[in-house]
Amino acid sequence: MSLEPLQAWREPMPADWRGEISRLAERLSAGAALDAEQAGRLRRLASMRTGAGERLQLRRLARKLLALPEPPQGFRTFRLLLVSNRMLSFLAGDVEAAGLARGLMIEAVETDYDAVRALALGAAERPAGRFDGVLLMLDAGFVPAGADLLDHAGEASAFAALCADYDVIADGLRTRLQAPVIAATVPAPPELRLSSADMAVAGAQLRQVAQLNAHIAARAAAGGVVVFDLAGLAAQIGAAGFFDPVRFFQAKTPFALQAGGVVADALTALIAAMTGRAARVLALDLDNTLWGGVVADDGVAGIVVGQGSPEGEAFLAVQQYALELRRRGVALVACSKNLEEIAREPFRTHPDMLLREEHFSVFLANFDDKATNLARAAAMLDLDPSAFVLLDDNPAERERVRSALPWALVPELGEDPAHFVRLAVASGYFEHLPLTADDTGRVAAYQARADAKALQASIGDYGAYLASLEMELAIAPFDAIGRARIAQLIQKSNQFNPTTRRYSEPEIAAMETDAGCVAWQVRLKDRFADHGMISAIVVRTAGDVWTIEGWVMSCRVLERGVEAAIIGQLTLLAAQAGVREIVGLYRPTPRNGLVRDLYPRLGFETVATDGEGGATYRLTPDPASIAAPPMRIVRAACASAPAAAAL
């Protein structure tokens, strides 16, 4: 089994790795929390090239973190239920250990061996508590053996029955656990491939496994499950090593325990994407990362890039990868120690370059420290350094950035440009869910943000600035089309989130038809870009008091009067419905200080405070009190009909 290529992007451990982890563990055992610096260091230590023994230590540390009253800065919890027709206990520990490298404190809850159907159909007791996700990992044993090998006519209906069975299980788990189902594709063990003809033989298990995987992928594309491509990962590792028949017969483990670390890491990369923690920016060094040679020394004519030389083609592949990520909503940033004019020259004039100046959202070429430049780019894009991946061939630069910005993601690249892309992909930092229009349009939105900041600087009067943006705010009730993005927004908004109430996708779906609530999705456009869905609000409408139970907004549209406009529209609707008061709540967390004074700023009066920073506010809905918003407001027809039967 070859795990090495899947681990080579990780930086090696320092000599005192175990000592550092022990000291963090002792601190937690003594009842102390981790400060921001220690939390950043822990994330970095956890992302290093660890062995099985180190992962046992990380798992114990993860358990200690879960016992803290609040996650350390930069971390969040994720409660995962493991469901399989095989023994997955070993993976629980690997997943909890692997999560730390991605800022996740995962609590992996095991279920009984082969309790899949009982759990999904309600015959077994539902594991207690709230889950953020359910991993459904079925192995090839789920596919029936012994089907008629010649019955081509009956194959389609037999396969339809298998898919229906799978869907009953996936849907049952989602409904019972009220959490998204992470569906693993099914890897085929070598023993299933009796002959190459198996792919063409009706009823052969190998053929059915391939078809089942296509079915899982189709379900994922339609938003029914989140797909985890375990079959693809097994192929990368090599099926001969991935499957361990001795361990299977002894302990019913679905794959070799040695692969547990890599499988767990890929799974946590997916969970990071589900929780909005995947990287959003690719920062690229230039010399010897995007082309061979040093442009300031060798000149544009002297750099190595393009068809005709193996090395030049390898660098082109890196550029191709960057462009492909950009198509998927990742912003590109150039980060080079160079004179700006010299650094820009190849993008302007070299005929073989695929990357051009316009592909970069931010272009920083100067002689400042790279960590300083990355922090600068983060400020320009309104993103946290944890959203940045740096590709840089220079180990010294990588080390400086990791030390100064412990949450920035900096994979090892090795010596040979031919390996750069594979290592970057293996890191899983750009893992993502099936794409939405919001994702693919995101790069334009980043660009717009940088442009808008420049415009803001040139326009003194803020009101005039807002007016110049020509914003259009579209408000609509929750619907099936917006569902996935609503869920994503609710999951990943920590700052503009006064109650930090996380709704699962099934709960969100239920609100689409719930007469006892007003649930709005809000989109924003301006003259620069379509920002997509930027806010969601859930208001419980019992009787003549409406309570804002949940409200999230993307921080990239702060300071634009959006929150006041939303409350204005809610006020209008509440007044029409004869509502006596609108109630707002604030529940403090370490991340949501931004909205501590949200309701007072919006004209609410304080009703009560709870002594722990939380408060309750009220507003009498009076249409006369609504100020003119700095934007055009479009309300979908059914969003204006009062959902409550308060009339």
Partner 1 sequence: MTQDEVIGRIEPILRDLFDEYEGPVTAALTANDVEQWDSLANVQLMVMVEVAFGIKFATTEVTSLSNLGELAALVVRKAQPKAAAST
Using CB under 8 A, list all residues that contact partner 1: 52-53, 56-57, 60, 89-90, 246-247, 249-251, 253, 256-258
**Residue 609: helix, strand or coil by DSSP?**
strand
Q: Distance of CA 576 to CAs 68, 300, 573, 623, Å?
A: 46, 67, 5, 9
Q: How far is the CB of 125 from partner 1 (least distance, A)?
A: 22
Residue with smaller CB distance to partner 1, 123 or 246: 246
Instruction: Write the single-letter amino acid at 350.
Output: H
Q: How far is the CB of 18 from partner 1 (least distance, A)?
A: 10
Residue with smaller CB distance to partner 1, 27 or 60: 60
Residue 436: CB atoms within 10 Å: 19
Instruction: Provide the H-helix boundaries in 512-550.
Output: none
CB-based contacts of 613: which residues, under 8 Å, 6+ apart? 586, 588, 596
Instruction: Select from 267, 269, 303 the least CA-distant residue to 288.
Output: 303
Q: How far is the CB of 251 from partner 1 (least distance, A)?
A: 5
Q: How far is the CB of 209 from partner 1 (least distance, A)?
A: 24
Q: How far is the CB of 256 from partner 1 (least distance, A)?
A: 8
Q: How far is the CB of 239 from partner 1 (least distance, A)?
A: 17
Q: How far is the CB of 235 from partner 1 (least distance, A)?
A: 22
Residue with smaller CB distance to partner 1, 29 or 440: 29
Find the angle CA(363)-CA(327)-CA(317) to the nearest 5 degrees: 75
2, 273, 330, 233: CA torsion to nearest 10: 20
Residue with smaller CB distance to partner 1, 195 or 250: 250
CB-based contacts of 577: which residues, under 8 Å, 6+ apart? 541, 642, 644, 646, 647
Sign of the alpha-carbon dihedral angle for 58, 59, 64, 67:
positive
Tokens read off for 466: 């807002």
Residue with smaller CB distance to partner 1, 250 or 403: 250
CA distance 9 to 471: 43
Residue with smaller CB distance to partner 1, 253 or 338: 253
Q: How far is the CB of 248 from partner 1 (least distance, A)?
A: 10
φ/ψ region of 184 (left if φ > 0, alpha if ψ in -120 to 50, else beta) reads beta
- 108 class by beta-carbon count within 10 Å (0-12 exposed, 13-18 middle, 19+ buried): buried
3-state helix, strand, coil in the chain (%, to 5): 45, 15, 35
Distant-in-sequence contacts of 553-558, Cβ < 8 A, 24+ apart: 553/493, 553/496, 553/522, 554/489, 554/493, 554/496, 555/382, 555/493, 555/495, 555/496, 555/594, 556/382, 556/445, 556/449, 556/531, 557/524, 557/531, 558/496, 558/594
Residue with smaller CB distance to partner 1, 52 or 221: 52
CA distance 79 to 526: 38
Q: How far is the CB of 246 from partner 1 (least distance, A)?
A: 5
CA distance 79 to 76: 10
- Is 524 within 8 Å of 473 (Cβ atoms)? yes
Q: How far is the CB of 247 from partner 1 (least distance, A)?
A: 7
Residue with smaller CB distance to partner 1, 239 or 355: 239
CA distance 350 to 356: 10
Residue with smaller CB distance to partner 1, 50 or 569: 50
Q: How far is the CB of 93 from partner 1 (least distance, A)?
A: 9
Residue with smaller CB distance to partner 1, 258 or 394: 258
Per the DSSP assignment, residues forming a β-bridge with 365 are 336
Instruction: Select from 274, 272, 280 the least CA-distant residue to 75.
Output: 272
Residue with smaller CB distance to partner 1, 16 or 605: 16
Instruction: Select from 81, 98, 132 the least CA-distant residue to 268.
Output: 98
Q: How far is the CB of 56 from partner 1 (least distance, A)?
A: 5
CA distance 556 to 574: 28
Backbone phi, psi, residue 479, to 5°: -145, 175
**Residue 302: helix, strand or coil by DSSP?**
helix
Q: How far is the CB of 513 from partner 1 (least distance, A)?
A: 45
Q: How far is the CB of 38 from partner 1 (least distance, A)?
A: 21
Residue with smaller CB distance to partner 1, 19 or 144: 19
Residue with smaller CB distance to partner 1, 48 or 602: 48
Residue with smaller CB distance to partner 1, 158 or 251: 251
CA distance 374 to 397: 12
Residue with smaller CB distance to partner 1, 63 or 422: 63
Find the angle CA(92)-CA(95)-CA(97) to the nearest 5 degrees: 110
- For the sheet with 472-477, list strands across it: 605-609, 615-619, 581-586, 545-553, 530-540, 517-525, 472-477, 632-635
Residue with smaller CB distance to partner 1, 189 or 406: 189
Instruction: Select from 50, 47, 93, 103 the least CA-distant residue to 72.
Output: 103
Q: How far is the CB of 6 from partner 1 (least distance, A)?
A: 16
Q: How far is the CB of 52 from partner 1 (least distance, A)?
A: 5
